[in-house]
Chain A
Amino acid sequence: MTYTFSSQDVHMVAKLANIPIDETQAVSLAEGFTKTMIVLDQLQRIDTKDIHEDYHAVDLENVTREDIVDESRMFTQEQALSNALRTHNGYIVVDQVIDYQDE
């Protein structure tokens, strides 16, 4: 059976994805996602019981590199900060993510 998206489902996914949306968008997205799921659910008709999934198509073995610092690739502090919209005393400013209480 095809998955039917409700606007509540869309709000839940939007929260997980950290995408701000309003109720009008949620209703419209739910309709679009439900249509898309009709296409995606066609795969359930294919028997894949003995098929091992893989995550890309060209044969590769584990790839490692030596654990050494490549100084030619290091950014200067100025470069690292050059695209940040909010900086303060050589640091990038972020929103507070941990609650605290005055003791």
Chain B
Amino acid sequence: MTLHRLTLTKAIELIKSKEVSVQEVHGEVHAFIREKNPTLNVYLSIDEHSSEKGNPETDLAGVPIAIKDNFLTVGLPTTASSRVLEGFYSPYESTVTKRIKDAGGVVIGKTNLDAWAHGSSTETSDFGTTRNPDNPDYSPGGSSGGSAAAVSADMCIAAIGSETAGSIRIPACWCGCVGLKPTYGRVSRAGVIAMGSSLDCPGPMTKTVEDAAILLRYMAGKDLYDATSSNRKAPDYRSSLQKGVKGMRIGIIYMDHLHMPQEVKEVVINAGKLFASHGAIVDEIKLSQTLEKDKVLSPDYAVAVYTIVQRSEVASNLARYDGIRYGRDRSHFGNEAKRRIMLGTFTLSKGYADKYYIKAQQVRMLYKKNFDQLFSSYDLLISTPSPGYALKVGASEGNPMFGEVVDMLNEPSSLAGNPAISIPCYRDSKTNLSLGLAIIGDHFEEEKVLQAAYLYERETPWNRWIHKVDKI
């Protein structure tokens, strides 16, 4: 049996029924990490004694879970992939990892990311680039590229990532796994190294939609240590997975975007047809061709809004790294962090804040209004997180807006705080690389997003685990 290939759902089932032990699962995952990590550069730190911490009598049954290295964890270093924090050991635990540990999950290691989560490829990491396990010449996407690669390469059972705009969805898409960005405020940000505080969302990165539903239940919910976390009770997302899409109104968006390749259009439109055949009412929503007031469906302006808002929040959040209480001084920031801090300092500075920062927040409200209007007539929107396959390693070099352009289709929903998932929807047999289907929901409607994703995953051949590993 190849236990490292198990889905979270199956691993919990087999451990609880005593068909396999926690130690056996950890042993095989560790062996596979030792084999793969030298070439893929997925993990920055590993807990070699993880199996001793696994309790089979808990909800998550002691399974090994990979954590993006921007979550504070007691016992393992936290670097955010920056030399500034190299060797930093947090004295306290992030809420997300505490909840995962309390539910019986075991942190097996910390995964690589773009330094400070600034990027869409892991190429800004101070500790080297992660390679796409499906084709090592290609990028895994980012910033949660290490977590996506850990899932895709079966170097963990499940993983946790975080997203500001695309950092879960893009790597999940490029690595052919599942990535869920929850509604802003659904999951606590406490103990996650802050990047864009009004945008940051921790989320599950998993082999299947059911696995994501399981992890989200333990991650979500009010946290006194994050004032922006929602009071709404987190439901048991798994219990509603099989409800299907009958009667749902589903809109297909961004298909008429200038940069949308025909191949991607076809798979998204076919997904719409599949949902329609299961009773959903599906139609296509065209982009606004002219810039009308109160109507900004086009993702084009989101690049500017997102860049300004995010750089401004970065400048503020990274001001704390002065090398006094922890970490090294500011000369150790990499080029990307320096660029972002400085541009954000400019957009917040006297004389320019009105023109850039305030203006961006106004246009952001147009995007929010845009989604509010769409969700008054639709249950879900579908599209793609990335208008194409993974890019080659090195594609970000010399392009100061690389991440923003890669993430263009994800920025509007991030700015508006909506939940969205990426699931595999095609695999090219020549390159072995995947395309992703995006399903976007209204605020706090992760259940509907997961229902539709679960149906798609069961009815199509693209999930590499569900049709094979579940039959182990």
Contact status A36-B342, CB under 8 Å: no
Total A-B residue contacts, Cβ distance less than 8 Å: 142
CB-nearest residue of chain A to B92: A73
Q: Judge if B174 is at the interface, Cβ distance under 8 Å.
A: no
Stretch at the interface among B40-48, B319-327, B378-386, B427-435: B319-327
- A33-B343, A35-B400, A43-B301 given as contacts; is B349 within 8 A of A13 (CB)? yes
Say which residue of A21, A58, A82 sits within 8 Å of B183 (CB atoms).
Answer: A58
- A17-B345, A46-B366, A56-B228 given as contacts; is B417 within 8 A of A36 (CB)? no
Q: Judge if A42 is at the interface, Cβ distance under 8 Å.
A: yes
Contact status A39-B304, CB under 8 Å: yes
Contact status B88-A56, CB under 8 Å: no
Band of interface residues on A: 35 or more
CB-nearest residue of chain A to B293: A47
Band of interface residues on B: 35 or more
Q: Judge if B315 is at the interface, Cβ distance under 8 Å.
A: yes
Q: Judge if B224 is at the interface, Cβ distance under 8 Å.
A: yes
- A20-B330, A40-B356, A92-B324 given as contacts; is B366 within 8 A of A58 (CB)? no
Q: Can you pick out 19 interface pairs between chain A and chain B where the beta carbons lie within 8 Å of each other?
A: A10-B342, A13-B342, A20-B330, A33-B342, A33-B343, A33-B400, A35-B400, A36-B343, A41-B304, A43-B301, A43-B304, A48-B359, A51-B362, A52-B365, A54-B364, A56-B198, A56-B228, A83-B91, A83-B326
- Residues on A facing B (Cβ under 8 Å): 3, 10, 13-14, 16-21, 29, 32-33, 35-36, 39-48, 51-58, 60, 63, 65, 73, 75, 79-80, 82-85, 92, 94
- Residues on B facing A (Cβ under 8 Å): 88-89, 91-92, 183-185, 198-199, 224, 227-228, 230, 291, 293, 296, 300-301, 303-305, 307-308, 315, 319, 322-328, 330-331, 333, 338-339, 341-343, 345-347, 349, 352, 355-356, 358-366, 368, 400-401, 404, 415-417, 443
